[in-house]
Structure 1
Amino acid sequence: MVKLICTLADHSDDVNYCAFSSSFLATCSLDKTIRLYSLSNFEELPYSPLKGHTYAVHCCCFSPSGHILASCSTDGNTVLWNTQNGLKLAVLEHPCRNPVRICRFSPDSMYLVSGAADGSVILWNVQSLKVHRSGSVKDGSLVACAFAPNGNFFVTGSSCGDLTVWDDKMRCLYNEKAHDLGVTCCDFSSQLVSGDKQEFQMASSGQDNIIKIWLVSSADPIGIELKCKCTLSGHTAPVLACAFSSDGQTVVSGSVDKTVVIFEANTGNILHTLTQHTRYVTTCAFAPDIPLFATGSMDKCVNVWQFEPKQFYTGTTLRESPNKSIENWSEEDVSIWLCKHGLKDLVEIFKKNNIDGKELLSLTKESLADDLKIESLGLRSKVLRNIEELQIEMQSTCEAVPDEFLCPITKELMKEPVIAADGYSYEKEAMENWIINKRRSSPMTNLPLQRLGLTPNRTLKMAINRWLESQPTHSPKPLS
């Protein structure tokens, strides 16, 4: 369900932090450097490592666009870097020259927060590169920071155990004693829990060996409410890092006990415990929109992990896709499949009609309407489309699918192949989504796309159809 796909061992000292953009992975270390890797192949970029700090680098983070990388250090500086060429854009000197432990961009890229060992918080204006506002916590060093996804406020965590909520005028909106022995990290889920009062989930970790999931809501511009939803226990030593997946369903954490634990956020169930690091796990981060996460350690290594594609959320737990042949699926397997494809409302109907795998493959638009009494034409069409995809999937297991028929983004058999400006072919929907998410670079080469237009690859589509028709039993209808 989770596999280690890459280990990066280029740092010469402890890894303190790692961060993703849509194109890069950044890591920083006690060795005073920041390293940048391409997500296309995890090769280090030609202008990496970035050098400019005179002491240990504690944190690094990307601006939302990914064009700027910020890093902060014991030297009291927060440095802004151009991620396209590695050049230094600015050096922001902390007013008191105290070691800077944490930095974070606001969602609109207007501000950058930096927190220091003396408890001071600086809100920098990224355009003017000047201090916008400043404040401080009562006790302890600032070691954690996270902006709410709506950008209306941010949270800092201190070594004395407090979580403090601030607005962009540096007014303290809320303060909570969260972890008895000190906060180590905090991270917001990007998914809204409730839109009515702008409610979000936030995870925090601490020296008390636990992770807490909080509900953070703002009913009005100055009203903040922080409630502990649940406590996640799975580590036997202080938890140094925690992070939410982009869909908000999963939390990953790293600890002094040398383990990485993956939790299902809604239930607190432990999905995996990973033991590949040999020293304290100091950092963890999820990639945006793709099933990757990274963990860094005092063993000087960064491990990159991938969730295998046949996983999905069923409403109570993360399940693996049934690995038996579809004709042998039980009614429960069919229910899992329905949930995977957003058809949870049909589960009871299918159960009442005893739809197993064999029955599922025989469904038609008439049987869905007349026998199962599904009135919605849209739902019937969605069921049939997904059944057709199942049939294609069955064919792909009969014989290894030629690599050129697989989309480089989804790794699945293409139905509507298109040619992009980089000369490679992709599934149309996948490439459109890639571009919509402001990724103007090639998924294969990571170089800028000279144009964003997509051209249907009819020759490749015909070749895929011929291959499908040549397969043995259960040949699906050729792609229209």
Structure 2
Amino acid sequence: MVKLICTLTDHSDDVNYCAFSSSYLATCSLDKSIRLYSLSSFDELPYSPLRGHTYAVHCCCFSPFGNLLASCSTDGNTVLWETQNGLKLAVLEHPCRHPVRICRFSPNSTYLVSGAADGSVNLWNVQSFKVYRSGSIKDGSLVACAFAPDASFFVTGSSCGDLTVWDETMKCLYNEKAHDLGVTCCDFSSKLASGNKQDVNYFLMASSGQDSTIKIWLISLADHTGLELKCKYTLKGHTAPVLACAFSCDGQILVSGSVDKTVMIFETNTGNILHILTQHTRYVTTCAFAPDMPLFATGSMDKSVNIWQFEPKQHLKERSAIEEPKIFAESWSEEEVSSWLCTHGLQDVVEIFKRNNIDGKELLNLTKESLADDLKIESLGLRSKVLRNIEELRTEMKTACLGIPDEFLCPITRELMREPVIAADGYSYEKEAMEKWITEKRHSSPMTNLPLQRLILTPNRTLKMAINRWLETQPKYNEKQSP
């Protein structure tokens, strides 16, 4: 169920890292360059490669909205690039010019973390390009970093084997000896995990190490208990140091790369090995999942990047026509409409829709009156739920037709944001929609359903700038919005 669909061989030296946005794939190398590819064709972009580092580039990462790319190097610099044109936006110099090994954007795009060979950690303000906070570990180099999905803390990994948990003030919350001989990578699942305490939410994190293992951790951060980090289990499939690991977007799959030249695909819940890929001829140094597609990439010291199409068996039953672009909803069959209803918790009306031969076209034409008078759905609440989901489907179809990037859409309204703000959960929303949510929906996150630690909404100027730039290139969108 894994197919190699493309191999990129443009780098002239070891590939150190690869990263996805919703539109691009970025790779970086010992050859001092960063290369950018389009996800639609995997053709290299006209302004690629990006050259600005004077030594090897160790890591690259996209901002959550995909408009910025960061890269860090042995030259002591972390460079910010604009992804739309490849222009250099800023150069963040390490205060002591030590090699920078790792960099990561926070989920709300406010900060960029960089970790260096001297063990220092710098938290940069992305707006001002200034160091906001600094910290350091006692021993070793920093080689790994990952943010919790809600941006409440981040984790760094060191060459001495420690995992260290920090908050945004650079206060050390926890330290754990995780891997003998050194940590090599760490990554969070975007999905919450179940733990031993019913009133505590747990994040799932994976770490890989020079000890040839991958460890799966449960991390909780609660006001009444503090931070807890507990090893759930250890994966021992590789026969040599594991250099990279990455969760799939749904958190069900973990991919790893190793000095043994293999790529292993694990089922997260069980730890079972689903696939072993052996196409690379040298150490596998990096792996990453695409955010919106069943794709992942692996990079190697053989100078290549492999692109894989991935559709595990356990996902096949969940996939149906309802997961196709919503623009095709008008052509859904009666069975596909039934699947869509079940996915949205509307099983109670499936038989009614079948008896009345409701296909995609009929679904989109349903109104409050037709639900009550023609389909005879007596429950007012049930009619409202059906109509609300149909309206959301129509909005998604409109969005798909206009080609609006998903990161520009408010998670609440699913419409293009004009005044994006960042909430305490780390996600961005349209200001008016989030204010209404807080007023009417209690103080919980629309994305995670977790309590919001604070109700302050911060303007997301970086996202607003990216949206305005996109709008300038979309005259057709502006025409459609005109009365």
* CA distance in 2: counterparts of 1:434 and 1:10, whole angstroms: 31
Residue of structure 1 in register with 2:214 after alignment = 211
Cα displacement (A) at 1:105: 0.3
Cα displacement (A) at 1:128: 1.0
* CA distance in 2: counterparts of 1:210 and 1:153, whole angstroms: 24
Residue of structure 1 in register with 2:305 after alignment = 302
Residue of structure 2 in register with 1:402 after alignment = none
Residue number among 381, 396, 408 corresponding to 1:438 in the alignment: 408
Cα displacement (A) at 1:238: 0.2
Amino acid at match of 2:294: P
Residue of structure 1 in register with 2:8 after alignment = 8
Residue of structure 1 in register with 2:369 after alignment = none
* CA distance in 2: counterparts of 1:217 and 1:386, whole angstroms: 49
What is the TM-score when the length of structure 2 is the normalising length?
Answer: 0.69
Residue of structure 1 in register with 2:273 after alignment = 270
Amino acid at match of 1:22: S
Q: 1:376 to 1:220 in 2, by over 3 A?
A: same
- The reply to whether residue 238 of structure 1 matches residue 241 of structure 2 is yes
* CA distance in 1: counterparts of 2:407 and 2:149, whole angstroms: 16
Q: 1:376 to 1:28 in 2, by over 3 A?
A: closer
What are the superposed Cα offsets for residues 158-211 of structure 1, whole Å, 9 maximum, x if unpaired? Answer: 000000000011000001111111100000011122595342110100001111
* CA distance in 2: counterparts of 1:9 and 1:340, whole angstroms: 33
- Equivalent residue pairs, number: 365
Amino acid at match of 2:185: C
Is the 8 Å Cα contact of residues 16 and 30 (structure 1) preserved in structure 2? yes
Residue of structure 1 in register with 2:173 after alignment = 173
Residue of structure 1 in register with 2:348 after alignment = 377
Q: 1:378 to 1:177 in 2, by over 3 A?
A: farther
Residue of structure 1 in register with 2:83 after alignment = 83
What are the superposed Cα offsets for residues 432-477 of structure 1, whole Å, 9 maximum, x if unpaired? Answer: 8975443899xxxxx965445999xxxxxxxxxxxxxxxxxxxxxx
Amino acid at match of 2:209: G
Q: 1:141 to 1:23 in 2, by over 3 A?
A: same
Query: Any residues of structure 2 matched to 1:344-355 within 5 Å, and which?
Result: none
Residue of structure 2 in register with 1:49 after alignment = 49
Residue of structure 2 in register with 1:68 after alignment = 68
Amino acid at match of 2:244: A
Q: 1:170 to 1:383 in 2, by over 3 A?
A: farther
Residue of structure 2 in register with 1:249 after alignment = 252
Query: Any residues of structure 2 matched to 1:43-442 within 5 Å, and which?
Result: 43-193=43-193, 196-220=199-223, 223-308=226-311, 311=312, 318=314, 321=316, 337=317, 377-378=348-349, 380=351, 435-438=405-408
What are the superposed Cα offsets for residues 130-164 of structure 1, whole Å, 9 maximum, x if unpaired? Answer: 11111111111000000000001000000000000
* CA distance in 1: counterparts of 2:151 and 2:352, whole angstroms: 39
Is the 8 Å Cα contact of residues 173 and 222 (structure 1) preserved in structure 2? no
Residue of structure 1 in register with 2:378 after alignment = none
Q: 1:25 to 1:386 in 2, by over 3 A?
A: farther
What are the superposed Cα offsets for residues 408-455 of structure 1, whole Å, 9 maximum, x if unpaired? Answer: xxxxxxxxxx999xxxxx9778668975443899xxxxx965445999
Is the 8 Å Cα contact of residues 435 and 452 (structure 1) preserved in structure 2? no
Q: 1:127 to 1:384 in 2, by over 3 A?
A: farther
Between 228-237 and 166-175, the greater mean CA deviation after superposition: 228-237
What are the superposed Cα offsets for residues 265-320 of structure 1, whole Å, 9 maximum, x if unpaired? Answer: 00001111000000000000001021110000000000011114xx45xxxxx36x
Q: 1:84 to 1:276 in 2, by over 3 A?
A: same
* CA distance in 2: counterparts of 1:381 and 1:179, whole angstroms: 57
Amino acid at match of 2:273: I
Q: 1:382 to 1:8 in 2, by over 3 A?
A: farther
Is the 8 Å Cα contact of residues 58 and 101 (structure 1) preserved in structure 2? yes
Is the 8 Å Cα contact of residues 26 and 37 (structure 1) preserved in structure 2? yes
Amino acid at match of 2:348: L
Is the 8 Å Cα contact of residues 29 and 57 (structure 2) preserved in structure 1? yes
* CA distance in 2: counterparts of 1:176 and 1:121, whole angstroms: 17
SS of equivalent to 1:377: helix
Give RMSD over aligned pairs: 3.4
* Structure having the higher Rg: 1
Cα displacement (A) at 1:223: 1.9
Cα displacement (A) at 1:23: 0.4
* CA distance in 2: counterparts of 1:182 and 1:256, whole angstroms: 14
* CA distance in 2: counterparts of 1:289 and 1:381, whole angstroms: 33
Is the 8 Å Cα contact of residues 402 and 477 (structure 2) preserved in structure 1? no
Residue of structure 2 in register with 1:21 after alignment = 21
Structure 2 gap segments, 5+ residues each:
321-333, 339-345, 361-392, 410-415, 417-465, 467-471
Cα displacement (A) at 1:59: 0.2
What are the superposed Cα offsets for residues 309-336 of structure 1, whole Å, 9 maximum, x if unpaired? Answer: xx45xxxxx36x5xxxxxxxxxxxxxxx
* CA distance in 2: counterparts of 1:384 and 1:449, whole angstroms: 43
* CA distance in 2: counterparts of 1:158 and 1:384, whole angstroms: 62
Amino acid at match of 1:264: E
Cα displacement (A) at 1:216: 1.0
Amino acid at match of 1:205: S
What is the TM-score when the length of structure 1 is the normalising length?
Answer: 0.70
* CA distance in 2: counterparts of 1:115 and 1:183, whole angstroms: 13
* CA distance in 1: counterparts of 2:230 and 2:354, whole angstroms: 40
* CA distance in 2: counterparts of 1:71 and 1:429, whole angstroms: 32
Is the 8 Å Cα contact of residues 5 and 305 (structure 1) preserved in structure 2? yes
Q: 1:2 to 1:134 in 2, by over 3 A?
A: same
